[in-house]
């Protein structure tokens, strides 16, 4: 992976692919399951071989869920389906009615009470939750989503839509997904039976952590999550493989930074007390239990999630991360997203960059589906991710402190961007603008603690009135 002291991106890409394929043999890996224990042991073995020291296994309280069985029956035909987590399922039989997902979202529906709804898959598969809640309020007995692809899919469905930290529950009716190929059979059925069972229990998930240098100063995190639905190759076995490959280089090349490798559990869910903000459980737990050390010492978090094919995006949280992102690729930079583990760090003001091609995965139809396997062509996506990550690492190793001018310019640019993407209340704009004028005049952004506070102000996620009206 290094030739004459120079990193060889091709060898690094090949190592990332080899590591990823090695980790696929554990199948569906749900937080708190036996398969997670086996995968964690394999990740630990690989990273300990690279580092030459013991990894730390961090126990995380989780709610573990798994599907025991799931079938749809019409007449004498039995069809395999996928129960949506974290539902307990049920056994219902009723008259069937076919519905377009667009009609549910636009509220153009006839009476569906006491029926089993057969629903076409929405364009955004995450709308399964929203559609399910609307149909449940209208009295359906069960819901069958017909996928756009010849495969099965899992999308989490809970009774609240806005990601808050309070408690929620799972719907009490069976909600399942079937393959596109069986739609002709279901469409002509008068009565249908859904028989499904999901099991959930309190358990323990496991974060895998490797502290490379031991100095715990100027810390660089390399992170990914290892739990996944079905095969989960692009989401997120590939991310773990890339993080492992970069770890092998960072320990040899970057002496000015103390490297921490983190493979997080329960990014897909769930906390022991089910919450509308049910994801990123492992990273939230790690940040919460190590907050002081992270706030004081972490320079940046490089997170890898949903890597498929180009273009690879840089989701940046924090002024420093945005400044670096613009140096790497001006047209690939966006703001950090609440859906990534990086948000657990950036919400505290810690700079983060998540490398991802999430939109490509959504558009391709493989998201959270049985089609997300190691047979996918991911070479170009991995190669581009590693190339961009190496450029970020080069900037970090050469410029320990970003120029004060860099950060101030990014702050001003961000204010304009936030006005376009998610309008900020005028009083907040005025307060932040006044603060930035004082900070720039007195060079206060050179102080890490001040940057953390400003990051938390600038990177707050506002929910607009329109969003609530759509609910």
Per residue of the chain (471 residues), give pLDDT as tens. 555 456 788 899 999 999 999 999 999 999 999 999 999 999 999 999 998 888 999 999 999 999 999 999 998 999 999 999 999 999 999 999 999 999 998 878 888 999 999 999 999 999 999 999 999 999 999 999 999 999 999 999 999 877 777 899 999 999 999 999 999 999 989 899 999 999 999 999 999 999 976 666 789 999 999 999 999 999 999 999 999 999 988 877 777 788 999 999 999 999 999 999 999 999 999 999 999 999 889 999 999 999 999 999 999 998 889 889 988 998 899 989 999 999 999 999 999 999 999 999 999 999 999 999 999 999 999 999 999 999 999 888 876 555 445 666 666 666 665 555 555 556 655 666 666 666 666 555 556 666 777 777 666 654 444 433 444
- Rounded Cα distance between 170 and 136, Å, is 12
Q: What is the pTM of this model?
A: 0.91
Residues 6+ apart with CB under 8 A from 1: 7, 8, 11, 12, 15, 245, 248, 249
Burial of 10 (0-12, 13-18, 19+ CB in 10 A): exposed
Rounded CA-CA distance 218/26 in Å is 35
Question: Residues in the chain, how many?
Answer: 471
Instruction: Kindly calculate the radius of gyration of the chain based on its CA atoms and give it in whole angstroms.
Output: 23
What does the H/E/C string look like for 155-186?
A: CCCCCCCCCCCCCCCCCCCCEEEECHHHHHHH
| DSSP SS3 for 311 | coil
Contact 314, 335 (CB under 8 A): no
| Burial letters 179-189, b for 16+ CB under 10 A, else e | beebbeebeeb
Residue linked to tokens 């990894």: 55
Q: How is residue 470 written in tokens?
A: 């759509």
Question: Residue 3 and residue 389: Cα distance in Å, rounded?
Answer: 18
Question: What Å distances lie between residue 82 and 72, 98, 113, 115, 463, CA to CA?
Answer: 10, 19, 23, 20, 32
Task: Provide the 3-class DSSP secondary structure of residue 314.
Answer: strand
Task: Look at strands 191-211 and 56-74 and give their pairing.
Answer: antiparallel
- Residue 101, φ and ψ in degrees, nearest 5: -60, -35
Sign of CA dihedral 83, 88, 93, 97: negative
- Distance linking the first and last C-alpha atoms of the chain: 50
Q: Give the C-alpha separation, 204 to 207, whole Å.
A: 10
| DSSP states of 32-96 | TSHHHHHHHHHHHHHHHHHHSSPPEEEEEEEEEEEEEEEEEEETTEEEE-EEPTT--EEEEEEEE
Ordered by where they begin, the domains of the chain are: 2-63+202-398 (3.40.630.10), 66-201 (3.50.30.30), 404-470 (no CATH)
- Residues 184 and 74: their CA atoms lie apart, in Å, by 12
365 φψ region: left (φ > 0), alpha (ψ -120 to 50), beta (else): left
Phi/psi for 61 (5° steps) reads: -65, 125
């Amino acid at each position: 992976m290094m030739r004459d002291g120079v990193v060889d991106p091709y060898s690094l890409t090949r190592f990332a692919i080899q590591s990823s394929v090695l980790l696929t043999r554990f199948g569906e890996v749900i937080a708190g399951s036996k398969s997670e224990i086996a995968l964690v042991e394999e990740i630990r073995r690989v990273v300990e071989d690279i580092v030459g020291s013991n990894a730390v296994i961090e126990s995380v309280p989780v709610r573990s869920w798994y599907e025991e069985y799931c079938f749809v029956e019409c007449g004498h035909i039995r069809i395999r389906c996928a129960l949506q987590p974290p539902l307990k399922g049920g056994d219902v039989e009723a008259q069937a009615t076919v519905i377009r997902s667009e009609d549910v979202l636009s509220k153009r529906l006839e009476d569906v009470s006491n029926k089993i709804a057969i629903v076409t898959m929405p364009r955004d598969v995450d709308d399964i939750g929203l559609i399910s809640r609307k149909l449940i309020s209208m009295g359906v007995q069960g819901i069958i989503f017909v996928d756009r692809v010849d495969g099965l899919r899992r999308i989490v469905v809970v009774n609240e839509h806005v990601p808050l930290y309070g408690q929620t529950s799972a719907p009490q009716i069976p909600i399942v997904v079937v393959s596109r190929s069986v739609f002709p059979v279901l469409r002509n059925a008068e009565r249908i039976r859904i028989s499904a069972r999901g099991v959930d229990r309190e358990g323990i998930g496991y974060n895998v952590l490797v502290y490379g240098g031991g100095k715990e100063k100027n810390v660089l995190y390399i992170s990914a999550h290892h739990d996944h639905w079905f095969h989960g190759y692009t989401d997120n076995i590939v991310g773990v493989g890339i993080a492992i490959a970069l770890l092998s280089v960072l320990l040899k090349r970057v002496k000015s930074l103390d490297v921490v490798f983190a493979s997080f559990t329960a990014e897909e869910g769930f906390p022991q007390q089910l919450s509308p903000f049910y994801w990123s459980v492992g990273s939230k737990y790690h940040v919460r239990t190590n907050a002081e050390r992270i706030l004081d010492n972490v320079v940046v978090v490089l997170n890898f999630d949903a890597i498929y094919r180009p273009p690879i995006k840089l989701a940046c949280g924090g002024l420093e991360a945005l400044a670096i992102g613009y140096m790497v690729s001006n047209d690939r930079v966006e703001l950090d997203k609440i859906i990534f583990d990086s948000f657990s760090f950036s919400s505290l003001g810690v700079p983060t960059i998540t490398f991802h091609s999430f939109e490509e995965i959504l558009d391709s139809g493989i998201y959270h589906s049985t089609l997300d396997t190691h047979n996918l062509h991911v070479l170009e996506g991995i190669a581009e991710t590693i190339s961009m990550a190496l450029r970020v690492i080069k900037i970090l190793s050469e410029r320990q402190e970003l120029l004060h001018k860099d950060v101030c310019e990014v702050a001003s640019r961000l204010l304009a961007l936030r006005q376009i993407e998610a309008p900020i209340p005028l009083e907040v704009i005025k307060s932040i603008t006044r603060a930035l004028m004082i900070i720039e005049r007195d060079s206060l952004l050179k102080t890490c603690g001040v940057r953390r506070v400003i990051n938390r102000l600038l990177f707050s996620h506002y929910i607009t009135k329109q969003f609530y009206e759509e609910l």
